[in-house]
Amino acid sequence: MGQRELFSRADSRLTQEKKDMSSWYRMISLSLLLSMLFVTATPPSLLAARPQTKIKKGVFLVADLRLLDPNFSKTVVLITQHGPGGSVGVVINRPTRTPLSRAFPKIEKFEKRPDTLFIGGPVQREVTILLLRTEKPPEAAVPVFEKVYVAPPVETLTDLLSHDDSKDPFRVYSGYAGWAPGQLQGEIDRGDWRVLPGDADLLFQEETGSIWEEMFRRSSQQLVEACRGDVSVLIVSPALSSD
């Protein structure tokens, strides 16, 4: 074997080793990024890499760990209205122990049901908001997403519960969350919220204690995918040691 061939083979092995090392380095970096995103607030250097989901009716706002406001810490908010006048939504993972039979004493059907009231947000707690998933929405219902509607609570619930065979899921919320024009976008840009498409199955699932964790996990995975092409944002970021 000539000297030139030996050098050529050595160079090929070195090139392959560099590729293997690069793949290993990328895998470790992405794993570290994913782990970090589950336990820390999103670093400023990663905010620009987030997948951009437009604010509109039907999206979920997932609270980042940096959001310490007790009204919204570890919450998921469904946006039910968005436009030039601002944004409105309801927190979907804060159930109370208040039975709906107490909130709606005139609706007798609630006396034998376990349904409870949810805290929808800090604004106007005296106002109740009904979310309903149905194939046949009431006339006054306003669509949100995936056959989910906002509807007048008393009239809709009275009619819904009068049909014993009805299997349409619903939730009743006390109060709501509201943002002035541009306010919500500012909070998102600051990193307070992660925006994801709404999920009707998750919205109406019986067990609500894991909703924020599940949505936070999904948003973290999306961020990892967005950073897959450039892990340098993780390696060089001084914010990782300060957040």
Contact, 25 vs 234, CB < 8 A?
Answer: no
pLDDT at 224: 73
Confidence of residue 241 (pLDDT cuts 50, 70, 90): very low
Model pLDDT, residue 47: 55
pLDDT (tens digit per residue) in 202-216: 999 999 999 999 999
On the question of pLDDT at 82 being above 70, the answer is yes
Contact 38, 177 (CB under 8 A): no
Residue 181 has pLDDT above 90, yes or no: yes
pLDDT-derived band at 48 (thresholds 50, 70, 90) equals low
- What phi-psi label fits residue 208: left (phi over 0), alpha (psi between -120 and 50 degrees) or beta? alpha
Query: What pLDDT digit, counting tens, does each position of 86-143 carry?
Result: 999 999 999 999 999 999 998 988 888 889 999 999 999 999 999 999 999 988 899 9
Per-residue pLDDT, 2: 53
The closest alpha carbon to 180, from 84, 80, 89, belongs to 84
The CA-atom distances, in angstroms, between 127 and each of 120, 122, 154 are 10, 11, 12
3-state helix, strand, coil in the chain (%, to 5): 40, 25, 35
Predicted model pTM: 0.76
- Rounded Cα distance, 209 and 207, in Å: 6
| pLDDT grade for 76, boundaries at 50, 70 and 90 | very high
pLDDT band at 10 (very low <50, low <70, confident <90, very high): very low
Q: Which domains does the chain have, with CATH numbers?
A: 45-227 (3.40.1740.10)
Query: What is the band of 222 on the pLDDT scale with cuts at 50, 70, 90?
Result: confident
β-pairing, 170-179 vs 116-119, is: parallel
Nearest CA-CA partner of 192 in 55, 33, 61, 36: 61
